[in-house]
Structure 1
Amino acid sequence: MRKFFKVALWVFIILLILAGGIAYHVNEQLGSINSLDERNAKYAGLSYYSVETGEFISPEKLPFYPEKTTGGDPGFARFLKTSPYAPAHPFPKNKLSKSDFSEPPSDFAIYWLGHSTVILELDGKRILFDPVFKNAGPLPIITRRYDDSPLQRKEIPEIDLVILTHDHYDHLETATIKYLADKDIHFIVPLEVGARLEGWGVPKENIAELGWDQETTFDSIIITALPGIHYSGRSNSDRNQTLWASYAIKGKDKNIFSSGDTGYGKHLKEIGDQYGPFDMAFVEIDGWNNGWPLTHLFPDQVIQLCKDVNTKMMLPTHWGTFDLALHPWNESIQMVTDKAEENDIELVTPVMGEKVIPGVTPTSNWWETAYGKSEKTSSR
């Protein structure tokens, strides 16, 4: 009996240590936020901030219709499983290392690295958007990628500027921010996201926080944060306590729009009228569901966004990496491609890691070539 209790005690101690380690890791992934009093003192006059709740306010309320949810059970447990909607085999990709990037950066070029992670070279500067190189959750087993990133974190080239659209795990990765923190990189983020970055080691002086319609300048490039219909947060207790944003990025000769995550709304036409026309738009195309109609763009709304913001060229983002909305991995890109052809919108669709000069470098419907247009779900 004494031996049994001794073994049980050791098992308990080991489990306690494991639980403590997991709790510490998860807490580190969450990051820091400022207190309600601090937020109220700074943002009381903003039309899109509530002092009563301490939350930023979306231009339109995000409804949830569980009875209209399509594609299966939307419960959290699905994020722990291998997605039944994943591709059957790894994607074609162009694997990258630091030596594959030119010095100095190009005047205009892009690399799509999967989901919303994009490297934009503009006016000889290198800008990294929403850097996520592993999975999209606070633990490695949560929301796993379909396939590896074409660029590993240790091979990230010299970066001048990081632009973050919001703090969801599929857009803001703790380990990557920590890796970049001591490299004298400038960060542009929506309001209150800066506190998370500071907690992960980014110097405060390297962070520019922007509210909607506020701008900052980095050499020849003007970056303006713009509205979106979405939400923020990294846990159940911090929803909407940080802001989210789309961006206009204006260089010497090129004007770029990055949609971030957004539902469709009148804000897009207003952005086009005030900040367009755009030479190129990075637009999220995946993650839509009838059960949450304003969280992301439906395929037809992707095309309408292009018309509203006045762009004829679009890089589809927010697809091909994570199962976020219970539909086959290639459904969104195929629907958007078909609708873009009907509406004279030029798509730029590189394989992951491929360098392209929009309007110059031809791209293809590689998902059709590699998998066939009819493939819908994984065979696993």
Structure 2
Amino acid sequence: MLLSLGILLLLVLVTSILFIKFYPTFGGDLSDERKSKYTGSNQFKNGVFANTSKDVPKDPSFSEMLTMTRKFFFTKVENGTPEKQIAVKEIDSMDLATNHTKTRMIWFGHSAFLLQMEGKNLLIDPMFGDVPAPHPWLGARRFSDKLPIEVAKLPKIDAVLISHDHYDHLDYGSIRELKEKVDVFYVPLGVGVHLEAWDVPKTSIVELDWWQEVTFKDLQFACTPAQHFSGRKFSNRQSTLWSSWVIKSSTESIFFSGDSGYSTHFKEIGEKYGPFDFAMLECGQYNKMWPDIHMFPEETAQAGVDVRAKLIMPIHWGAFKLALHSWTDPVTRVIKKAEELNIPVLTPEIGAPIELGFTGQNGVKWWE
């Protein structure tokens, strides 16, 4: 019996190692040569990337990790997921192809957006997969059974902006479907190693450090700070940088927070690049067990004030269950706090076009 159990455990261990090593969704690993290129970054220390606050993220002890795992898998959350599939607005591919004047955004749920600006098509954190995990068996499915538009029907994409390498933001299947129609991928330092592992040409990848700026045709992108972490497997935590993004045209300015805990960087970004016409701010997947890497809704509203946004939109919710709050908790709490702070909030349905210049609630609480 003991021999059989030992053989079984060995087989599980070997299978797990081989799965992580060869399954393509895990992406690439930084070579020593590549790491040497990042030594000039203020965020790259002792071979890994770090937040400005030294103690973030806090490395949990083994017992804390067991507690978090137990709570996540065995705690019953009231209204943790929608009772039925979320309805999404369908997008007309011809309408997308012919829009060359209006600045318009379309939310795909969670943190994924299509942005049409100055006649350019941009994608932000294009996670279009069903499950935010390395394998479909390892995570819960999306709240909606379809997307506003199939990836194959999207127009040519001029640029993709990616905030970090976690599965709910950087998706292997999505990148494989998109790569032939994308001109340039803009990513934080190190994230390019995953794209290269998935056969995206090096010439199509631009890596940026915090506060670095780049001009793309008629637009300006700035890679800005966030307070988070990275890694697609246990052996490469903190091996790539995480970020927020600033997107500017000659007349409009947009902020995308990526994933981030609340900190002073929001004020710094607002002072340098604000005010913003529109800010997409993380608001979901929070918990008291990880308060420094994801914002609570009240902090999301305050972050909108800090970056000097005229209008904010809560993101990082509405698609996946990745924490222990109800699926509607983020939006109801951020609206309440935003009213106190006198900052307008936009809460569009997934797939509904968002045009800059809209200055308040859309009036439909579609999540109720």
**After TM superposition, is the score higher than 0.5?**
yes
Compared CA separation, residues 215 and 252, structure 1 to 2 (3 A):
same
Measure, in 2, the Cα distance between the counterparts of 1:79 and 1:226.
34
Q: Tell me if structure 2 keeps the 8 A contact 1:93–1:351.
A: yes
Measure, in 2, the Cα distance between the counterparts of 1:361 and 1:301.
21
Compared CA separation, residues 119 and 76, structure 1 to 2 (3 A):
farther
Compared CA separation, residues 133 and 204, structure 1 to 2 (3 A):
same
Question: Which shows bigger deviation, 154-163 or 357-366?
Answer: 357-366
Corresponding position of 1:145: 142
What is the CA-CA distance between 1:104 and the residue it aligns to? 4.1
Q: Tell me if structure 1 keeps the 8 A contact 2:286–2:323.
A: yes
Q: Which amino acid aligns with 2:276?
A: F
Measure, in 2, the Cα distance between the counterparts of 1:173 and 1:208.
18
What is the CA-CA distance between 1:97 and the residue it aligns to? 4.9
Compared CA separation, residues 358 and 150, structure 1 to 2 (3 A):
same
Measure, in 1, the Cα distance between the counterparts of 2:202 and 2:215.
17
Matches within 5 A, 1:238-257: 238-257=236-255
Q: Tell me if structure 2 keeps the 8 A contact 1:64–1:292.
A: no
Corresponding position of 2:93: 98
Question: Which shows bigger deviation, 94-103 or 129-138?
Answer: 94-103
Q: Does residue 110 of structure 1 match 2:105? A: yes
Q: Tell me if structure 1 keeps the 8 A contact 2:344–2:359.
A: no
Q: Does residue 128 of structure 1 match 2:123? A: yes
What is the CA-CA distance between 1:231 and the residue it aligns to? 0.1
What is the CA-CA distance between 1:132 and the residue it aligns to? 1.0
Q: Tell me if structure 1 keeps the 8 A contact 2:156–2:182.
A: no
Question: Which shows bigger deviation, 88-97 or 327-336?
Answer: 88-97
Q: Tell me if structure 2 keeps the 8 A contact 1:64–1:291.
A: no
SS at the partner of 2:236?
coil
Measure, in 2, the Cα distance between the counterparts of 1:102 and 1:76.
47
Q: What are structure 2's unaligned runs of at least 5 residues?
A: 1-7
Q: Which amino acid aligns with 1:94?
A: K
Measure, in 2, the Cα distance between the counterparts of 1:293 and 1:32.
29
Compared CA separation, residues 28 and 81, structure 1 to 2 (3 A):
farther
Question: Which shows bigger deviation, 139-148 or 309-318?
Answer: 139-148
Compared CA separation, residues 99 and 294, structure 1 to 2 (3 A):
same
Percent identity for Structure 1 against Structure 2: 36
Measure, in 2, the Cα distance between the counterparts of 1:330 and 1:249.
28
Q: Does residue 28 of structure 1 match 2:21? A: no
Corresponding position of 1:201: 199
Q: 1:229-269: per-residue Cα shift (whole Å, max 9, x none)?
A: 10001011110100001011111210111111011111111
Compared CA separation, residues 101 and 239, structure 1 to 2 (3 A):
same
Question: Which shows bigger deviation, 147-156 or 120-129?
Answer: 147-156
Corresponding position of 1:188: 186
SS at the partner of 1:347?
coil
Compared CA separation, residues 107 and 81, structure 1 to 2 (3 A):
farther
Compared CA separation, residues 79 and 199, structure 1 to 2 (3 A):
farther
Q: 1:166-215: per-residue Cα shift (whole Å, max 9, x none)?
A: 00000001011111222242110000111111111211111110000111
Measure, in 2, the Cα distance between the counterparts of 1:297 and 1:188.
24
Q: Tell me if structure 2 keeps the 8 A contact 1:26–1:138.
A: no
What is the CA-CA distance between 1:38 and the residue it aligns to? 2.6
Matches within 5 A, 1:1-380: 23=19, 27-39=23-35, 41-50=36-45, 52=46, 54-60=47-53, 61-63=56-58, 74-75=68-69, 78=72, 85-134=80-129, 135-141=131-137, 142-148=139-145, 149-360=147-358, 364=362, 366=364, 368-369=365-366, 371=368
Q: Tell me if structure 1 keeps the 8 A contact 2:77–2:326.
A: no
Measure, in 2, the Cα distance between the counterparts of 1:30 and 1:79.
22
Alignment RMSD = 2.8
Corresponding position of 1:375: none
Q: Which amino acid aligns with 2:338?
A: A
The structure with the larger Rg is 1
Measure, in 1, the Cα distance between the counterparts of 2:204 and 2:75.
38
Compared CA separation, residues 133 and 271, structure 1 to 2 (3 A):
same
Measure, in 2, the Cα distance between the counterparts of 1:314 and 1:104.
24
What is the CA-CA distance between 1:106 and the residue it aligns to? 3.7
Measure, in 2, the Cα distance between the counterparts of 1:315 and 1:30.
30
Corresponding position of 2:3: none
Q: What are structure 1's unaligned runs of at least 5 residues?
A: 1-11, 372-380
Q: Tell me if structure 1 keeps the 8 A contact 2:106–2:350.
A: yes
